[in-house]
Amino acid sequence: MSHIIHVQSNGEVHLKTKGVLMQALKQIQGSEIVTEILDYYGHPREVEFGVKTPNFPRGIGFEQVGDEYQMISDRYGQNTSSMNLMNEITANYQKSAHVSVLIKYGFITSTEVEKNGDILVQGRSY
């Protein structure tokens, strides 16, 4: 499959908890959870799971490597759309992971998206 990239080194995203990752993917507006993504030429590639959106219909897939997940995508010709989706996945994952940890330790949580796009996660203990 041509131009499929594995996000590594400086851009590597370690996504250790599949459940939290799935929550992050489901939060993306207009997303579809899939088991195959497409390359630039429209050739399918099976992945453990992935997400497609109207802005990036080729999709981003995930495969487990050891105890981590790596993002896989063919960004050729759609670098901005794919990077926007990767950034959204990463932000949603971080938010979901923080919420999961707070809940684990007995906090009551709330999340809010601010006007500038920042995600505010609050935890309260009573």
Measured between alpha carbons, how far is 116 from 106 in angstroms, rounded to an integer? Answer: 29
In a domain, 45, yes or no: yes
Domain of residue 82: give its range.
Answer: 5-94
The one-digit pLDDT tens for each residue of the chain (126 residues) are 334 444 443 444 555 577 778 888 888 889 999 999 999 999 999 999 999 999 999 999 998 887 778 889 988 888 888 888 988 888 888 888 888 888 888 888 887 777 776 777 777 877
In a domain, 30, yes or no: yes
In a domain, 120, yes or no: no
Number of domains in the chain: 1
Buried b (16+ CB within 10 A) or exposed e, 12-51: ebebeeeebbbbbbebbeebeebeebbbeeeeebebebbb
Tell me, yes or no, if the pTM score tops 0.85: no
In a domain, 100, yes or no: no
In a domain, 79, yes or no: yes
What distances in angstroms separate CA 29 from CA 81, 89, 106, one per listed residue?
Answer: 14, 11, 29
Measured between alpha carbons, how far is 30 from 27 in angstroms, rounded to an integer? Answer: 9
In a domain, 34, yes or no: yes
